[in-house]
Copies of this chain bind each other. A is one copy, B any other.
């Protein structure tokens, strides 16, 4: 069960992330976080006939690996919540077909991992799911042709452009037990400050992350310095700067902000310009980097705010501005779950 304060749901008995896994592709294998992935593929096609099928394979492999790490099987899962960036979320649909689990598809673009953890935490804490898989993926090659230009055009990337990660992450949620706790969830409201540049996702998404963070802090009457890290999804370098500026304008100076999109790649060495993006980016960084730190108690309390840009190639060509959303989950190291000030 949960207590509602404003837009924020607080779980007195936090559901837990009992196991997690992440898988990456070639560029992820050359990144500073390479050692933190559970598996890496040197071939981004994963032996499949298409990139889209490769992304389905990423999801399938990460789901099975997550279950294996939990010493669980598909029978221990009541529900799969998954999403991706492909039109009509087909990476998730085909993965769900192969997994054979009850499945509810989500779409929040790059915010989907936090959305899945948020909805999943609600269902688990209310006894409506025993084991619940929350999973997202992205693939550079499927995303670029969905949102921008076919790769074979060799379009020049602008300085604000981010590199869609070829990666997937999965978390197995349980109502209680060992694992990082999900103490609170804030579902975001769509923000749009009028950005129209499809190569500047960070700028489009920064206001959404700022709005959701401010709302969570107000709802829970908490100060940002209470957290070891406030971790946004994939604002990248440009978006992160804007995010901190937007918060500074509200009188909040964040000293503990990190961004999964900035962490994943070596921006200069890997030529990724403003950083990484994609629902697989923050899912993989969460599962490979953030959750292990919480489990080792190197960090105790972390806010995870994934951000998503809700446009399509059609709305871009129609010159619509880019709406964005950010969902927040509050994570707590295992022994911290029943204390604290929320």
Contacts and interface: CB of A to CB of B under 8 A. Distances in A.
Interface of A: 1-2, 4, 7, 9, 49-50, 52-53, 78-79, 83, 85-90, 93-94, 96-97, 100-109, 115, 118-119, 122-123, 125-128, 130, 146, 186-192, 310-315, 318, 320, 323, 325, 327
Contact of A94 (B119, B122, B320): B320
A112 to B, nearest CB: 8
B310 A89 contact: yes
Nearest to A108: B105
Given A97-B323, A128-B9, A78 B4 contact: yes
A115 B126 contact: no
A296 to B, nearest CB: 31
A215 B46 CA distance: 35
A105 B4 contact: no
Contact of A104 (B4, B118, B313): B118
B119 A187 contact: no
Contact of A126 (B87, B108, B126, B191): B126
A281 to B, nearest CB: 17
Contacts of A90: 310-312, 314-315
A97 B102 CA distance: 30
A120 to B, nearest CB: 11
Main SS of the interface on chain A? mixed
Contacts of A118: 104
Contact of A109 (B88, B187, B190): B88
Interface centre among A103, A108, A189, A190 (most CB of B within 10 A): A190
B93 A126 contact: no
A106 B82 CA distance: 10
Contacts of A320: 53, 94
Contact of A314 (B83, B87, B100, B103): B87
Contact of A128 (B2, B78, B127, B189): B2
Given A1-B126, A7-B102, A96-B189, 4 more contacts: A4-B128, A4-B130, A96-B325, A97-B323
B119 A115 contact: no
Nearest to A313: B87
Given A87-B88, A105-B115, A310 B93 contact: yes
Contacts of A7: 78, 102
A279 B84 CA distance: 20
A217 to B, nearest CB: 16
A7 B79 CA distance: 8
8 contacts: A83-B107, A87-B312, A87-B313, A88-B311, A93-B311, A96-B323, A100-B190, A105-B106
B318 A93 contact: no
Nearest to A318: B50
Contacts of A188: 102-103
A78 B79 CA distance: 23
A311 B100 CA distance: 17
B97 A192 contact: yes
Given A2-B128, A127-B1, A104 B119 contact: yes
Given A79-B187, A107-B88, A188-B102, A323 B93 contact: yes
